[in-house]
Amino acid sequence: MATKKPRYMISVDDDMFNAIEDFRFERRFQTRSEATTELIRLGLEQLKKEEEEAKKAQKNKPSGGETE
């Protein structure tokens, strides 16, 4: 059965390809696509977490002429 998921192609250098393959086999993903999707998901989650932490730090930063 054909998939309805959007598809696109990416090009990576040899080092990135090998890193993806290592991740794939260490985590026992059946396909390179599954491993790549998981790596993207993990990266996006980390980015979101870092952005939220930066916003919290900005809110907690003293305002005005205070110095440390």
Q: pLDDT digit string (tens) for 13-50?
A: 999 999 999 999 999 999 999 999 999 999 999 999 99
In the block, residue with structure tokens 């977490």? 49
Residue 60 lies in a domain: no
Residue 56 lies in a domain: no
SS (H, E, C) 11-68: CCCHHHHHHHHHHHHHCCCCCHHHHHHHHHHHHHHHHHHHHHHHHHHHHHCCCCCCCC
Residue 30 lies in a domain: yes
Residue 8 lies in a domain: no
Residue 28 lies in a domain: yes
Q: How many domains does the chain have?
A: 1
Helix 14-26 with 32-60: angle, nearest 10 deg: 100
Quickly state the pLDDT bin for 66 (edges 50, 70, 90). low
| Cβ contact 35:27 at 8 Å | yes
Residue 67 lies in a domain: no
Residue 23 lies in a domain: yes
Range of the domain at 30: 15-50
For range 2-23, the mean pLDDT: 93
